[in-house]
Structure 1
Amino acid sequence: MIKNIILFILFSCAVKSHSQTIQGKVIDEVSGEPIPFVSLMIIGTQTTSITNENGDFVIKAATLPVKLKFSHVSYLSDETEVKNASDNLIIKLKQAAINLAEITVDPYQGKKLLKSAFEKAAKYKDDNHYLKAFYRQLTSVNNNPTKIHEIFYDIKWNVTRTSGWIARQTRFAESKNQSGFDLSNQSYFTFSSSGYLTVPNSGTFVTEKTLDKYTIEIERYIEQADQDIAVVTCTIKKAGKNQFYANSAFYVGTKDLKIYRVENNILNLPMDLAAGAVFKYPPIVKTIATFKSGSTDINILESISTKMYLAVSYMDRMRANDLSAIISSLLTVYQEDNTLQNESFQNVRRDTKDKNVVESIKYNADFWQNNPIVKQTSLEDKFSKMMEGQNAFGTMINP
């Protein structure tokens, strides 16, 4: 059995109170399918949240009743009044209309729109925003969950990336019954991909300077109440066999020129494997970043989801073995807090080890118990409960 495969990416709170916890699920009105990454807020406050990959949400209100607003770039916004926190809400959103009629009018419209959005955002590239966020990373090997990292961060963010972080509360657990596997610094990848003005040190990403390297088209317009949202797809024209690059989709407001969502498919990501291990297929990474709309000229980070798919062959005791791994992470912002601007933030570095960060802070079981911000999918919930039953979280932390 292989002991460990270490991967390195080479490119460049909750407080106990008497508040009311509101929870529920957001689904598509027609299909009944859950809708991930729906933003929600308590109207008249700065309290926000976002649904997880199962469409589940949890949000805390100081008092009841309150009115919640639900927003998603591909759906019509909805508001609902909540009078009783014991209710498990089911929110049904109606898909926004899709307009294809304008797409063929100007074949260069997508490039012009994206260029204008980049130019607008670039004016604010030196403006920092200070956010409180929750990060979870789940590693699954051969379809079995094996490791989980969870970290509450204070972060310093601008339109290019997250540039600084402070870990406030952490925990980590792993199953000892599976093949050893570790992606040592996925948080670096998440932080580096959290903006919409990408400034890569290597590889080819969609930037204002690389637009000519991509075929750029408007795939569709999403009709929202105040403006249409153009879905602009960017496909690289020519990629070398081992070239590291991303194909992307940007969701851009046609009137305000704000970027609301960025989806990346990243191919040929350069990585190192332990001796005796090779990739069966090049790694594939998918990211989805969402940005919260506000009264300012830019949208602020709301969430970023990453999924890395790896297929590895390795020799163990003179036998060839195959290992398939999925490393998924989700960073969700639950509060903007500009009082953090005087804090001392750690720089985002490629050589930061996530597990070392976790082990640097004593595990606080009371903090994590019934914490409403720790929303989980069914897979994460099952694995976390198993680890908690084995007291695995506490034993992995250096006091």
Structure 2
Amino acid sequence: MLKNIILFLLFSYAVKSYSQTIQGKVIDEVSGEPIPFVSLMIIGSQATSISNENGDFVIKAKGFPLKLKFSHVSYLISEFEIKSSSDNLIIKLKQAAINLAEVTIDPYRGKKLLKSAFEKATKYKDENYYLKAFYRQLTSVNNNPTKIHEIFYDIKWNVSKTTGWIARQTRFAESKNQSAFNLSNQSYFTFSSSGYLTQPNSGTFVTEKTLDKYTIEIERYIEQADQDIAVITCTINKAGKNQFYANSTFYVGTEDFKIYRVENNILNLPMDLDNGAGFKYPPIVKTIATFKSNSAEVNILESISTKMYLSIIYADRMRSTDLSATVSSLLTVYQEDNNIKNESFQNVRRDTKDKNVVESIKYNADFWQNNPIVKQTSLEDKFSKLMEGQNAFGTMINP
């Protein structure tokens, strides 16, 4: 009898814990299109999250009722009262007003705003922030998912980039039909692209020193409650045929000179491929980094999404094969934690192999089961379930 009571209490606790998870999708109020990278938080708590590329979100609550606050640089900040747990919330956000009237008043204002933003950030370039983050990378070849790996990191970040990392939990799976193609250090590029005070070792990026190399224009102003956000496009004036460079869009506060979002289109990125693969055409890379406003003088990293479009030639002894590959990654910060500042962080290095990082930590299936931080797009979810069904996670061996 006592055993049955204990089992019942454990089951009740598990149901109660599960019921505290809130899931849903954020969409545009008018178009109904999903909105990626929307920040959300439970008001009055430290619980935060961010929607993924499909607008899907998951957040864990301790009790109800509660208020969820949603914010995105292009939408009005909105609050919603949630009275009970749900797995199918639909949150509709209203676009912020767009002001085009002021765009042509001062043709140099975009450059001035960027310069002010860079100068402000430079004052804090040596100040580190300590964050907990979740990273997922999905590789697709010829439109078919082939491998996925996921890592929980502690990271050390500043306004230039992520400078240190500790892998806490990992898992990996790959299809038995996967090609020989492998991109071994996507996380290095993600970490290196996670700041807004870029200091590249090679190539041309938008920095305070390179502003004269770009045509800089304010595309529009987004009218938020406290200030306008200027959307500033930067297009390189002249690029060589094989020159490594980025065209960028910055979202800058017109009053506080903080940077809220950076989008990069990167061409001719120098990369190395494994197993005798080479590029048929230079890779094209797109990144979107979002930064969360707080009481500090600079905004801290919230998420960094990268997507690489690769046209590859793979040659073996018998034949040559053309492959079209896409490597997508998303690093999302779910907690700021100064308690980890004294940990021993690994330096961000180009020669770090993601596979080796994954293999260095024993797979813990219980940790990943129903983990509320692990949010997936529909494609990732389908592939993950396929791999789980084949018991492929936790091993580098094809199922």
Q: What's the TM-score bracket when you normalise by the shorter of the two chains?
A: over 0.9
Alignment correspondent of 1:259: 259
Alignment correspondent of 1:60: 60
Matched, 1:166 2:166: yes
Matched, 1:341 2:338: no
Matched, 1:241 2:241: yes
Measure the CA separation in 2 of the matches of 1:275 and 1:25.
40
Alignment correspondent of 2:97: 97
Superposed CA deviations along residues 234-292 of structure 1, whole A, max 9, x for unmatched, are 01111111110000000000011100000000000112345764422210000000000
Measure the CA separation in 1 of the matches of 2:396 and 2:284.
30
TM-score, normalization: structure 2? 0.93
Q: Which amino acid aligns with 1:352?
A: T
Measure the CA separation in 2 of the matches of 1:190 and 1:374.
18
Measure the CA separation in 2 of the matches of 1:60 and 1:111.
42
Alignment correspondent of 1:365: 365
Measure the CA separation in 1 of the matches of 2:67 and 2:96.
22
Shift of 1:312: 1.2
Measure the CA separation in 1 of the matches of 2:396 and 2:295.
44
Q: Which amino acid aligns with 2:45?
A: T
Task: Write out aligned runs for 1:1-399 (5 A).
Answer: 18=17, 20-86=20-86, 88-273=88-273, 277-396=277-396
Superposed CA deviations along residues 91-128 of structure 1, whole A, max 9, x for unmatched, are 00011111111111111100000000000111111111
Measure the CA separation in 2 of the matches of 1:347 and 1:279.
28
Superposed CA deviations along residues 60-113 of structure 1, whole A, max 9, x for unmatched, are 112211111000001111100111013521100011111111111111100000
Q: Which amino acid aligns with 1:311?
A: S
The answer to which of 174-183 and 73-82 deviates more is 174-183
Measure the CA separation in 2 of the matches of 1:184 and 1:53.
23
CA 312–62 in structure 1, closer or farther in 2 if over 3 Å, else same? same
Shift of 1:206: 0.5
Alignment correspondent of 2:5: none
Give secondary structure in 1 for the equivalent of 2:272: coil
CA 84–305 in structure 1, closer or farther in 2 if over 3 Å, else same? same
The question of whether the paired residues in 1 share the 8 Å contact of 2:134 and 2:332 is answered with yes
Q: Which amino acid aligns with 2:322?
A: D
Give secondary structure in 1 for the equivalent of 2:393: helix
Measure the CA separation in 1 of the matches of 2:336 and 2:82.
24
Superposed CA deviations along residues 165-195 of structure 1, whole A, max 9, x for unmatched, are 0100000010111212211001000000000
Measure the CA separation in 1 of the matches of 2:87 and 2:23.
8
Instruction: Give 1 or 2 for the bigger CA radius of gyration.
Output: 2
Measure the CA separation in 2 of the matches of 1:341 and 1:320.
49
Measure the CA separation in 1 of the matches of 2:271 and 2:345.
27
CA 358–278 in structure 1, closer or farther in 2 if over 3 Å, else same? closer
Alignment correspondent of 1:4: none
Shift of 1:45: 1.7
Measure the CA separation in 1 of the matches of 2:346 and 2:47.
26
Measure the CA separation in 1 of the matches of 2:378 and 2:217.
37
Shift of 1:316: 4.1
The question of whether the paired residues in 1 share the 8 Å contact of 2:129 and 2:157 is answered with yes
Give secondary structure in 2 for the equivalent of 1:381: helix
Q: Which amino acid aligns with 1:149?
A: H
Measure the CA separation in 1 of the matches of 2:177 and 2:131.
37
Report percent identity of matched pairs: 86
Measure the CA separation in 1 of the matches of 2:182 and 2:321.
17
Measure the CA separation in 1 of the matches of 2:69 and 2:136.
25
Measure the CA separation in 2 of the matches of 1:272 and 1:195.
23
Give secondary structure in 2 for the equivalent of 1:281: strand
Q: Which amino acid aligns with 1:43?
A: I
Structure 1 vs Structure 2 CA RMSD: 1.4
Q: Which amino acid aligns with 2:78?
A: D
The question of whether the paired residues in 1 share the 8 Å contact of 2:287 and 2:307 is answered with yes
Regions of 4+ moved over 6 Å? none
The question of whether the paired residues in 1 share the 8 Å contact of 2:124 and 2:159 is answered with yes
CA 274–192 in structure 1, closer or farther in 2 if over 3 Å, else same? closer
Shift of 1:322: 1.1
Give secondary structure in 1 for the equivalent of 2:341: helix
Superposed CA deviations along residues 302-332 of structure 1, whole A, max 9, x for unmatched, are 0000000000123345433210000000000
Measure the CA separation in 2 of the matches of 1:275 and 1:393.
23
The question of whether the paired residues in 1 share the 8 Å contact of 2:181 and 2:277 is answered with no
CA 95–50 in structure 1, closer or farther in 2 if over 3 Å, else same? same
CA 108–90 in structure 1, closer or farther in 2 if over 3 Å, else same? same
Give secondary structure in 2 for the equivalent of 1:392: coil
Measure the CA separation in 2 of the matches of 1:195 and 1:109.
23
Shift of 1:47: 1.4
Measure the CA separation in 2 of the matches of 1:242 and 1:148.
31
Measure the CA separation in 1 of the matches of 2:314 and 2:359.
29
Measure the CA separation in 2 of the matches of 1:315 and 1:352.
25
